[in-house]
Amino acid sequence: MSSDINERVEENIDEPAPQRAAGLWRDAIRDLRKRPTVIISLLVIIAVLAIGFFPSLFTGTNPKACDISLNKAPAAPGHPFGFSHEGCDYYAQTIYGAGPSIQLSLMVVVGTLIIGGLLGILAGFYGGWLDVVFSRAVDVFNSIPFLLGAILLLTMFRDLSIPFLSTRLQAIIPAVITLIIFGWTSTMRLVRASVIEARNLDYVQAARSLGASNRRLMFRHILPNAIAPVVSLIPLSIAGMISVEATLSFLGLGVRKPEITWGLMIDDATKWFVNGYPMLLLIPSAFLIATVLAFVLLGDALRDALDPKLR
C-alpha cells in the first residue's frame, strides 16, 4: 500500500519527462540540479521517506516498550534522545513518529490530485453545465475555511471505526478522507484553468481534426501540457499536509493514539517545556520543521523552475 503511493507520486512527477514535452522539463531539471538548496532538501526528503516507511532500519528499539521508572530520564548509551514522560525511548518514538504523518500526507496529496485533477479536466474540457456544477461545488467547499472544516468533520466522526482496516490505517484514514474532502478544490481550480487555456490551442484542434476522441484529447494531449503548475504544487501541498496533520494531532483530532506522531509528541511535551525538559518538545519539533522546510524549499525551487515568470 505505502510503496504503491510512493510510486504513484514519483510517476506523477516523472510522467511528462520523455522527449515529447522536453523543453520546459529539461530546462527545469538542468536549472534545479545546479541549486544546492534543492540537493540538500532532496537528501532530507529521501531520508524522511526512508524513516517514514522503514522505521525499523533506523532503530531496533520498540517505541511502545516503556518503563515508567525511566520517565524523562536523560540520554544514556543506546538512547541518544533520552526518555519520554512515560519512560519510552525518545529516539525510537521520534523515528516511528514520522510514519503516520508522511503516509497520511502522501495519501492526501495523491487523493486530491486524482479527484481535483479529474474534476478539473472534465470541467475545463466540457465547460457548460458540468463546469457550472463543479465550480459551484468548489465555491461551497472554499467557503468553509480549511482547518475549521477539518476540525468539524473530525469531531463529528471521531468515534467512527471503519471495518476491515489495520490499526495503522484505522488511525489515519479518517484524517485522510477529511483532508481530501476539503483539499481537492485548489487542484481542481488550477487544472481547470490550464485546461481551459489549452483546449483551443492549435495542436488540440489538429488532433481533433484527425479524429481523436475526447478522452484521448484530454489525457494524451491536454493533460501533459497542463500539468506543470500542478506538479510544482505537489511538494508544497505535501509540506502543508504534514503541517496540518501535526496541528490536528495536537488538537487530538488527527492521527489517533496509540499511534505515535510528531504532533502528539509535541502535545505531550508542551507542559514539560519550561519545567526543565525542553528537549522533549524541541526534538520532535526539529524533525517536523526540517521535514516541512525541505518540502517547502523543493517546492519553491520547482515552481521557479517551471514558471520563469514568477522569478
Partner 1 sequence: MGRYVIRRLLQAVLTLFFVLFLLHYLLSLAIQVNGNPARTFFGDKPVTAEQLAAVEAKFGTDDPCLDTIGDPCLGMFGKRMGDWLTLDFGTTFHGYSVTEQIAQAVPPTLILFAISTAVWVLIGITAGVLAAMKRGRFFDYLVRTGTTFTVAVPTFLLLVITQQLVGVSLGNWARSTFGRDSFLGIIFQPSYDHDHPFLSLLVPGILLGAFGIAGITRLSRTSMLENLRADFVRTAKAKGLRPRRVTVVHTLRNSLIPVITLIGFAMADALGGTVITEGIYSIPGMGGLAFSATRDNDLTMVIAIVAILSVSFMLVTLIIDLLYAVLDPRIRYE
Alpha-carbon span 302 to 296, nearest angstrom: 10
- The 3-state DSSP composition of the chain as helix, strand, coil percent (nearest 5) reads 75, 0, 25
140 binds partner 1 (CB under 8 A): yes
Question: In whole angstroms, what is the distance from residue 111 CA to residue 243 CA?
Answer: 17
The stretch among 56-64, 88-96, 211-219, 295-303 that binds partner 1 (CB under 8 A) is 295-303
- Contact between 285 and partner 1 per CB under 8 A: yes
Closest among 138, 148, 99, 136 to 115, alpha carbons compared: 138
**Identity of residue 151:** I
Q: Does 175 bind partner 1 (CB under 8 A)?
A: no
**Under 8 Å between Cβ of 24 and 228:** yes
Shortest distance in whole angstroms from residue 193 CB to partner 1: 13
Query: Is 5 a residue that touches partner 1 (CB under 8 A)?
Result: no
Q: Does 277 help bind partner 1 (rule: CB under 8 A)?
A: no
Which CB, 234 or 266, lies closer to partner 1? Answer: 266
Q: Which is nearer to partner 1, 155 or 205 (CB)?
A: 155
Does residue 266 belong to the site contacting partner 1 (CB under 8 A)? yes
C-alpha 51/C-alpha 2 separation (Å) is 13
Binding to partner 1 by residue 281, rule CB under 8 A?
yes
- Asked if residue 14 binds partner 1 (CB under 8 A), the reply is no
Interaction between residue 99 and partner 1 (CB under 8 A): no
Burial 292-310 (b: 16+ CB within 10 A, else e): bebbbbbbbbbbbbbeeee
Chain contacts with partner 1 (rule: CB under 8 A): 136, 139-140, 142-153, 155-160, 239, 243, 246-247, 250-253, 266, 270, 273-274, 281, 285, 288-289, 292-293, 296-297, 300, 310
